[in-house]
A and B are shown apart, each in its own frame.
Chain A
Amino acid sequence: MGLFSIGNMIIRSLFNKPATLMYPVIPRVYEEKTRGHINVDIEACVLCGICSKKCPTHAILVDRKKKEWSIARMQCIQCNCCVEYCPVNCLSMANTYTSPSTEKITDAYAKAAPEPAAKPVPEAAAPVMDAAVDVEPTV
């Protein structure tokens, strides 16, 4: 039984520095593993579309005609799924999050110049996607 059981703790807090991180005055430093947003190395991308197919929220769109890889930032749930499935490791998870915005933004990345060599790869990947479960890249 006590009436001022937390007294010590609050008096200590009163005279010590607050625990507050002071964001945004002091920017937050994120952990290396923090899942923030997806980066694409568009030049390395082969537009295979696996990421688009695997994305649980259908945030990623791959337009092969326009040679464009786009992500709806407001649909991405940072599950890291696309990164794990990407056959050419062109996707990566950055540790900073997408800024809030007044619009639902979609970031599109177009390949600078068409690379003919990239073309066969998606076709090679296609049968893999149809297989039952054997697409299980290791981390």
Chain B
Amino acid sequence: MSTLFFLILFPLVVALALLVLKTDMARGVLVKAAAAVIAAGSVYLAWQYFGSNGDYFKFEGEYVTYIMMGLEIAIAGFIFVLGIKYKKYLASVLVAIQAPIMVWFELNVGHTIEVQSDLFIDKFSIIMALIIGVIGSLICVYALGYMKDFQHHHHDQKDRRPLFFFLLFLFLSAMFGIVFSNNLVWLYFFWEITTLCSFLLIGFTKTQEATNNAFRAIVMNLLGGFGFVLAIVYMGVTYQTIELNQLLAIGMMGYSVVIPAALLAFAGITKAAQMPFSSWLLGAMVAPTPVSALLHSSTMVKAGVYLIVKLAPVLGINPAGIMVMMVGGITFLLASFIAISQSNAKRVLAYSTVANLGLIVACAGIGTAAAVWAAIMLIIFHAVAKSLLFLCVGTAEHNIGSRDIEDMDGLFSRMPRVAIYMVVGICGMFLAPFGMLISKWAAMKAFVDSGNILLVMFIVFGSAATLFFWTKWLGKIMAIMARQENIESKVHTEEIFVLTTLAALTVLVCLMFPVLSAFVIVPYLTAVYATVSALAISSGNMYIMAAMLALIILLIIIGYGKTNKKIVPIYMAGVNTGDDLSYNGSIGQTVSVSLRNWYMESYFGEKKMNVIGNISTVAIMVGVFSLILGGVL
């Protein structure tokens, strides 16, 4: 248990220390050291509890609950004031409703309930802890170099990096809290801290846009938090428990837990930025890139899907399950479509995150062991590949001055290493034999087995769209452009280190796929579901996939870039000026060729798709909740 506490508290301590450290040097040392410690801690945790199938810990000391309550009230007050100050009254109204309910509950019901275990750890938590501990801290290290550039670009502004790093480590701390908490009140506390941190990080640049987006994020997350509060209150009142494992146990015994499950899932859906709440995550793009990476890969949204995946056993063919799977399915399909119409790399990544989370959510909604297997796999691969991609885009942005995919022309010649890592990340996101694709494969099979044809249609069409937008980006990077200057030496060593590590991790995780499945996920599922039917993908096929990856690596080593052929200019209808970049055009001009990808706005326009998605998901949610409430009343 001490490791758990260490992982929750150590980042907090580091965070506070960073708040006071003002020099680059000291900050650098501390962040690197702390990141190493946290990563080592999470690895140690994994080693320590590797054999366990779920350990639960009781924490003696009521005072913690009161400290939390006090902090919650303080946070609520802080948000309330900010809401008034920036004239975003909706946020203020939401905290004004939610905080009193929570306080009332704590004081009247909460303390009467005997909590068996506040903290727990199982294989899923370990995976999450590893993701947070390793990827999260890598992102913090990356942020060092990045924020140096950032400050350089915004030199007219006050150096607010202490606050920035404080928030990053606070975030990690809260995330550890989320994945280790069994007590829903604790979980809720950490949940709200992530909400607050994301709010502050999104609004970090203090521009009008950033402020607006920050408030949009907090309003949506508070809405989810409200659902969370209602779930706790309902559970406390109805089942006399506020423990997650109890809820699951009750549900799996056959009693109906649809109401709390639906409410918690709703909270998860908001946090996981599912439609109709996807807009906050898109808005979060205004924050510096490490924040995006953090939000998308290892924290925040992962908290949302983590909660839903935890709930998976009580979802399935019931209103809550159907709501979750349909919302996830629709989000996956439409977000994939929207990603086609985007050229801003970060927005593409954001929509791809939303889509993948949709897939995870849908898997969780199906709730079978095979589906959860796919969901967890998706979480792992998504975290690694997505953080890599975000950081690559961040580096590219700082060096080529744009985050637009169309400005990444010839990146392969200009920044070969970054480009290769980006390629690894992209391949990791959608291509066989990388993990993401295998997980998608499993998800598809789970969908088919679930008997929901609509979901099957969503995934087949969504996959096609995924293929399209990733490959066109891939192609843009892989284009070999003549006469490009290599500008890679300008990249900070921290950044390169982190990118290299993440890229290596992406490949490694894919190669380790069968092992991961056999020794981590299957035992977890066995513990949760008691019986695990045949897996979606036979282990033979997993080995084939791993072998294919090895083959690709081998081929690259043997043959990549080796040719003794004569290099000739490209075909340009006979008017190539000779430099492969321009041609003799009309009116006697020399015209530069410009090759751009397709965006098909008229088909997959953001606005149109969002309207469809929001209306349909809202309709589903309203329908499900009125069905549940109708059943109760």
Direct A–B contact in the complex, CB atoms closer than 8 angstroms: no
Chain A residues near B (Cβ < 8 Å): none
Chain B residues near A (Cβ < 8 Å): none
